A = this chain, B = another copy of it.
Amino acid sequence: MTDVVVIPRATISRLPVYFRVLMELSHMEVSLVSSDELAARSGVSSSQLRKDLSYFGEFGIRGAGYDVGFLLQKIREILGIHREWRLVIAGAGKLGTALARYSGFAQHGLEVAALFDIDPGKQGKMTGKIPVLPMEDLTGFVQEHDIQIGVITVPAQAAQGVADLMVRAGLKGIWNFAPVRIEVPDDVIVQYEDLVVGLLTLSHHLSRRMR
């Protein structure tokens, strides 16, 4: 048995933060940064930063710090930003169309290839440069255009059906904005995004304060 190192979820979720700070430093033409400085700018402790990086290798220079360009490249590789991913969005409602135009995708090597919707009234339209296609064309489109990721922005009750469609089309990653758990085979990765959680967390804290 190979010794599989388990990487904490929390570590992965901090990498995008380090990535952003390193990008800023790179734009400021800083070439070397200490864990203290990088951690402070990222809002974490320096031992946490070093511990996080240590899961993936030894990227620093003892006595000096981290080479900004080198560490940036390493984090790019860890996060898969060095690759190009293509994705489709199922559900051309408010959230789906807003995501389709979202600049964060392109900035991290992701290309939105098409939106899909069951509503014939939305089909044939364009969201910026991205076409809205009939949901039944999803499988063919995914296979023709070498798509890897599917985004679900349909209503909760339709989410499982769309997920099944995506799995059959061969997508290996699903970003699910519908507030339901979906069942997929083990080789498909599902990332959940639930805006209501953030909103109600805020509401809860406000409620406590204002009691």
Q: Which residues of A are at the interface with B, using a C-beta cutoff of 8 A?
A: 9, 12-13, 15-17, 19-20, 43, 77-81, 83, 85, 94-95, 97-98, 101-102, 104-105, 108-110, 148-149, 172-173, 175, 179, 181, 187, 189, 191-207, 209-210
Which chain B residues lie closer than 8 Å to A15 at the CB level?
A: 200, 204
Which chain B residues lie closer than 8 Å to A206 at the CB level?
A: 80, 85, 148-149, 172-173, 189
A100 and B109 alpha carbons, distance in the complex (Å)? 28
Which chain B residues lie closer than 8 Å to A9 at the CB level?
A: 201
18 contacts between A and B (CB under 8 A): A13-B197, A15-B204, A16-B197, A43-B181, A77-B207, A81-B203, A83-B203, A94-B98, A94-B102, A98-B98, A104-B196, A104-B199, A105-B199, A108-B199, A108-B203, A173-B205, A175-B198, A192-B198
A210 and B77 alpha carbons, distance in the complex (Å)? 13
Of the candidates B97, B109, B175, B201, which one forms a contact with A12 in the assembled complex, judged by CB atoms under 8 Å apart?
Answer: B201
A80 and B85 alpha carbons, distance in the complex (Å)? 40
Which chain B residues lie closer than 8 Å to A101 at the CB level?
A: 94
Of the candidates B16, B43, B189, B192, which one forms a contact with A209 in the assembled complex, judged by CB atoms under 8 Å apart?
Answer: B189
B79 and A207 contacting across the interface, CB-CB below 8 Å: yes
> Contacts A85-B206, A98-B98, A209-B172: A191 and B195 contacting too (C-beta < 8 A)?
no
Which chain B residues lie closer than 8 Å to A207 at the CB level?
A: 77-80, 83
Of the candidates B81, B83, B102, which one forms a contact with A95 in the assembled complex, judged by CB atoms under 8 Å apart?
Answer: B102
